[in-house]
Amino acid sequence: QVRLVESGGGSVQAGGSLTLSCTVSRYTFSSTCMAWFRQAPGKEREGVAAIAIGSDRTSYRYTTDAVKGRFTISLDNAKNTAYLQMTNLKPEDTAMYYCAVDGPWHCSQGRFVVDQYVYWGQGAQVTVSS
């Protein structure tokens, strides 16, 4: 069974940085789409970053406007681990962050749509204080 485990969450002050990790077991990162989502209390889950991995291991990265220039998604194939590097954090970034895999083909359509992903992690809390 595919399993995703997030780590690296925590509390930081505004302007600080955190890096989240998502280690995936029993899954091959090839010809797939992987993404990070977040959900703040009382709000819907929203996508923040996605990465499309081709059969030749080439990758394409996407971020939403809310985090563009501050968040970076990456993948270490050898470790089967994805990362979300977050810099210049703001209080509005406070949320539970989830990784998800097996999304839409090449992340081409619906890459930030929750229902497009098959497997999800349990979440990692990120709290940013002002």
Q: What is the pLDDT of residues 54-102, one digit of tens each?
A: 887 788 999 999 999 999 999 998 999 999 999 999 999 999 999 999 9
Around 98, how many Cα atoms within 13 Å sit in the side-chain half-sphere?
20
pLDDT value at residue 113: 95
pLDDT of residue 63: 97
> Of 1, 7, 122, 98, whose CA–CA distance to 50 is shortest?
98
Share of the chain above pLDDT 90, in %: 84
The helix/strand/coil state of 120 is strand
pLDDT of residue 30: 83
